[in-house]
Amino acid sequence: MYSPVVVSSKEMVKEGYYFGVPPAVIGAAALAFGWRAAGAAAFLLAAFVFYFFRDPERVIPEEAGAVVSPADGRVVVVKDEPRDGRPGQRISIFLAIWNVHVNRSPAEGRITALEYRPGKFLAAMRERASLENEQNVFVLATEAGEMVFKQIAGLIARRVVSWKRPGDTVARGERVGLVRFGSRVDVWLPKEAEILVKAGEKVKGGSSILARWQRRPGAASREDLVGANQQAR
């Protein structure tokens, strides 16, 4: 049984300062010179940037086998999709520009692979974005087996950022990265996982449960995953 976990708030990720402070400084300078309209516009831009990079506290579900959403947004695709010859299912979530853009791990496990794939910047709502856009692809070994999730750039988002490396162990709902200014995330699960969401539903990263996926016989235990990570280090 998992214990409930409250992921502490960082209020705002550090990237927010990089992008938000310059327009705030420009706004102050514009007001000092009496350019009220320009100053107000710059301050509004800074306020939006600080809001965009917010990082709110989330309560992580305690239910064993729960697969949580890696991002805030709206479910746009739930479909059968094979991967490497294995039957499976894909859930795609679209992040509008006003959603929280900090991404979280859908489950507890060890990141066995992390691949950056350069690509296009199609609108993230489009189905082709899952294959053609710039993305980070995470392969996660869990107690139930292997799953895959992706950070995908969009038309406005031009950068996918991972804060993790292959070999890192992550907790369910732990922060793993960021996609800047509108994007998409995909989660791929084997066929035996029970999908609990449908297209059109709104979800919150780290707290909304997308699926149930119990440990299968012979899969690595939590202790095995932690031990393997310690050896890798």
Q: Give burial (CB, 10 Å; 0-12/13-18/19+) of 145.
A: buried
Q: Are 1 and 62 in contact (CB under 8 A)?
A: yes
Residue tagged active-site, from 69, 105, 162, 183: 183
Question: Which residue in the block uniquely carries the two structure tokens 């053609």?
Answer: 132
Alpha-carbon distance 8 to 18, whole Å?
Answer: 22
| Chain centroid to CA 19 | 20
The token duo for 90 is 């894909």
Residue 134's closest CA among 166, 90, 89, 179?
179
Q: Phi, psi (5° rounding) for residue 215?
A: -60, 135
Whether residue 183 lies in the annotated active site: yes
Helix (H, G, I), strand (E, B) or coil at 206: coil
Q: Phi, psi (5° rounding) for residue 133?
A: -85, 160
Q: Are 214 and 177 in contact (CB under 8 A)?
A: no
Find the length of the chain. 233
The end-to-end CA distance of the chain, in Å, is 28
Catalytic residue list: 183
